[in-house]
Structure 1
């Protein structure tokens, strides 16, 4: 923990969307050297969307260190970061592949699912982590196309991938969806993003996708859970927020700092592993102390 950058006082900064890890200051810990694997996912095959940087990158690396082969999906603009993630997976002696794709379209999800299964020889774990957000100070500033894009990326893609891959995840497979503390304590400048995350967790919206999928797929032996991260320091933050909002990001949580991506990856490893064999239909918060209820 002492080797990690201090995230208690993040300086003001901005990047062009979708952001780059190379330009992030300070650089967060993705587990390349800090994660110590214990073979908890030995022989598993996993698809992680949004796996180029941030939470997805840390999850892919942790999975590889735990013995899993990993496919990641990313936007074409994120190829450089995706290549680094794949290299980190392969450095652990595991199969690592990447797919450049825009998950807003149904057919892209169909092709990604088929490609991942083909590349890995099957699938045991699906991590739906890809997300889009863009902050605005006023409700009237939210463009209609942005609202559509946010829901297509964050909600529709999750459903389409589960629909395609559920048959491959029977008899012990695991699905983990990235939601957010925004579902419970939404920020006004992220109203559309917060709404999509609520759609994945709240009973009041979008038929409670995670819980309902857990009910639907439990009979075939597939567990479905979610992780709700709090303020995690990733390229998405300076690429989607104004510099003044980035400054001090995460300092308002009880632990007083933003989280490193690797600190969230632990939740995905647990939910994908046999240690969580009786855990399904739940949301695990990794929020620095903010409540997820």
Structure 2
């Protein structure tokens, strides 16, 4: 589909919460929200070990609808949820497998990774937390009635990971109409990877992590629905430029920015008109933008 410029919408309607267990959430990704959606970065990773099921549960406890995670692939082809391409920072791999440096995810089997403690580094109360498989992760997100922003991490290290990820999502029921219509986004720093996802499953909403030049946005609008930059690179004008294009699903392109953990920055990017804010402390961001929205209508 060819990108075409559209007028930036100035009137916003408050999104209706679709899921009762997370009734505190007031806005949702979808273009015309009164306030940006708040997305728990690697789960609520400011309060629980990142990318673990405990972090997903903590996000749900805080009333956060969207969670973000990262996908890597093991030596035997299992997809696991982990940010780094090695296991050192967030597990006890050096103790369990001292002779396996540099401890890359791709050099370990799923069974070996399942032995690792992925929680003690964060706090003793999380001792014994495990690195979840993608299947385990999406099942927990489903159980919690949450929504998923899924990042294909380092796709250059894992040829074919796009198709494999989509297969897991399909097997777990995440590619049916309700999920692809409003509960799933696949993103990556790799434009080629996101283009591949769009070609394999055109119905799936996608996001590109980065800040392409405005001149390049028409090309991105052919295969991605979102442009998701670091908050430090963001301006009000850039957000408006992204919003001026229609993405592959016929809707205004969106902007979700990362990683915002303080109230002042949250209010600043919300004032720029972003559609989503990715945060390790999503409750702090939610409360800040909600207070800002409430003040605006008084």
Q: Same fold (TM over 0.5)?
A: no
- Give the TM interval when normalised to the shorter protein: 0.3 to 0.5
Give the TM-score normalised by structure 1: 0.35
Write 1 or 2 for the structure with the bigger share of helix: 1
User: Over alpha carbons, which structure has the higher Rg?
Assistant: 2
